[in-house]
Amino acid sequence: MLNSLRPAWIITRREVSDQLRDWRIILPVLLLTLFFPGLMNFTAGQITGFVERYNAPLIGDRLIPFLLMIVGFFPISISLVMALESFVGEKERHSIEPLLSSPLSDGQLYLGKLAAAVIPPLLASYLGITVYLIGVYLDVGWRPAPILLLQIFLLTTVQAVLMVSGAVVVSSQTTSVRAANLLASFIIIPMALLIQGESVVMFWGSYSSLWWIIAGLAVIAGLLVRTGLAHFNREELLGRELDSLNLRWSWTVISQQFRGGARSLRDWYLEQVFPAARRLGLPAAMMLLALAAGLLIGVNLVQVFPLPPGMLNLNRLDEGFVEGLELLNLFSPLGVGTIWLHNLRAILLATVLGIFSFGVLSVLVLMLPFVIVGYLAAGVASTGTSIGLFLLAFIAPHGILEIPALALAGAAILRIGATLAAPAENMTIGEAWLRALADWAKILLGLVLPLLLGAAALEVLLTPRLAVLLLGS
């Protein structure tokens, strides 16, 4: 394996040496590496003095780690520019033909370019973090906990690999730097939202949550690297002259995959929907495991965030509970429609997030309700009601339809992500993705929406009454 990667390292050294000779690259890196940590040190010192004046040291304690994370992120933002230039930039400069005619394999060439775009900004980021730590220690005497420092370094590393791997995929699949820069918005916007989410975690002080973020980003980065390796082809890179958006062809592919040759609703289910559902066996099993894991996570969270005593005492559950829901007009078609639309919005949100993350974020979105259910079930158990009885009364009546619907929806989203990460025979990446999207639409319209509608009806008409019957006084 090392022998097969040695040629890739040759490409990496060539690219890095070229970057180090270009002052237009070195100067911004040095400025961001040395000036920005100094600015953050000054900011940390001013804010620390201000909050101590008003006896609020907690703000300063939370702000300094946040600034440490930002100092690590800024230098790796340059890696996006380098990665976008990696293939399409050389193609426009007509300097890539000798490189593509070398005896290197496609995988070696791709990994060499990828490493060359990661290493210099990542080293600059590490240097910036070191400069910031030295300065903030000399100014205010702050030192990070070793585990927090490890998390910041790992977070910086996976973010760099994530941004670069995504940008290199864009660079290898476009025909101009202008197109690559426009498509880079699909990297920049999610990363900006990610930084905002990380800032909430840093200010909240829940540093253990960073491990989940690091693990999720590592999975997505690995999938992006896999996508680039699977779809990189030097002949196609040289052969592409113009990117064109053929909406008629796209609609034809989706329509054929969605309808097939079905002439009736029965034929559509037999020939299209059920076969598409059978192809989701493995991702559906993965989704069921993820939902079960969410339930267990919620049960364990009660030990970290215990509920106030007596808050979920169900020993006095009686018919007044049902009468109160009737006063809210819940037992009506409007109540069924409200719950159905709520579940549909969750599915659509999971789909949008899954498209940008190979399905990883969609799994987390669909796991969240099960985390809440597990948390409530464990809280109820502390009052003397068994977890099994709680799930039987409040979850099982409508869950018998809702859980399969969520598993099918999540599996269809995962398949869209898997289509990007693995090459499809005799199909381009665009055609394979469109066909997976059509399969998702079949599963959603043919199975998920009817199941969710039935689950909403059961949740409104049956679940509250069964809860009173099993748990009432």
Q: Are residues 373 and 401 in the same domain?
A: yes
Of 239, 256, 280, which closes a domain? 239
Between 123 and 41, residue with greater pLDDT: 123
| pLDDT tops 80 at residue 7 | no
Which ranges of 232-327 would DSSP assign to H, the alpha helix?
234-239, 247-259, 265-268, 274-278, 281-304, 319-327
| Same domain for 218 and 70 | yes
pLDDT exceeds cutoff 80 at 125:
yes
Residue 36 pLDDT more than 80? Answer: no
Digit-coded pLDDT (tens) for 191-243: 877 888 888 887 777 778 888 889 888 888 888 888 888 777 777 666 555 55
300 with 230, same domain: the answer is no
Rounded mean pLDDT, 164-169: 84
Helix (H, G, I), strand (E, B) or coil at 385: coil
| Residues 128 and 196 occupy one common structural domain | yes
Q: State the pLDDT confidence band at 403, using cuts at 50, 70 and 90.
A: very high
Please say which residue of 194, 219, 239 terminates a domain. Answer: 239
Same domain, 170 and 265: no
Residue 345: per-residue pLDDT: 92
114 lies in the same domain as 181: yes
Is residue 360 pLDDT above 70, yes or no? yes
pLDDT score, position 443? 94
Taking each helix axis from N to C end, the angle separating 449-461 and 333-355, rounded to the nearest 10 degrees, works out to: 140
Half-sphere exposure of 398 (CA within 13 A, CB side): 25
Shared-domain flag, residues 319 and 391 = yes
Tell me which of 185, 220, 239 is where a domain ends.
239
57-83: per-residue pLDDT in tens? 555 567 778 888 888 887 777 767 777
Q: In the structure encoding, which two tokens stand for residue 178, read together?
A: 């202008």
Claim to verify: residue 235 and residue 253 sit in the same structural domain: no
Lowest mean pLDDT among 35-39, 316-320, 336-340, 446-450: 316-320
Number of folded domains that form the chain: 2
Average pLDDT over residues 390-412: 90
- Looking at the structure, do residues 184 and 331 belong to the same domain, yes or no? no
Structural domain harbouring 464: 247-471
Q: Do 207 and 167 have their domain in common? A: yes
Highest mean pLDDT among 242-256, 306-320, 449-463: 449-463
Q: What is the pLDDT of residues 264-283, one digit of tens each?
A: 888 899 989 999 999 888 88
Q: Above 90 in pLDDT, residue 185?
A: no
- pLDDT for 238 equals 65
Residues 252 and 214 in one domain: no
The tokens for 272 are: 């299209």
pLDDT in tens, 375-393: 888 888 777 777 888 888 8
State the Cα–Cα distance between residues 87 and 234, nearest whole angstrom: 10
Buried b (16+ CB within 10 A) or exposed e, 348-358: eebbebbbbbb
Residues 258, 211 within the same domain: no
Q: Residue 144: is its pLDDT beyond 90? A: no
AA identity, residue 111: L
**Cα–Cα distance measured from residue 382 to residue 306, given in angstroms and rounded to the nearest whole number:** 10
Instruction: Provide the whole-model pTM.
Output: 0.74
Element (H, E) at 336: helix 333-355
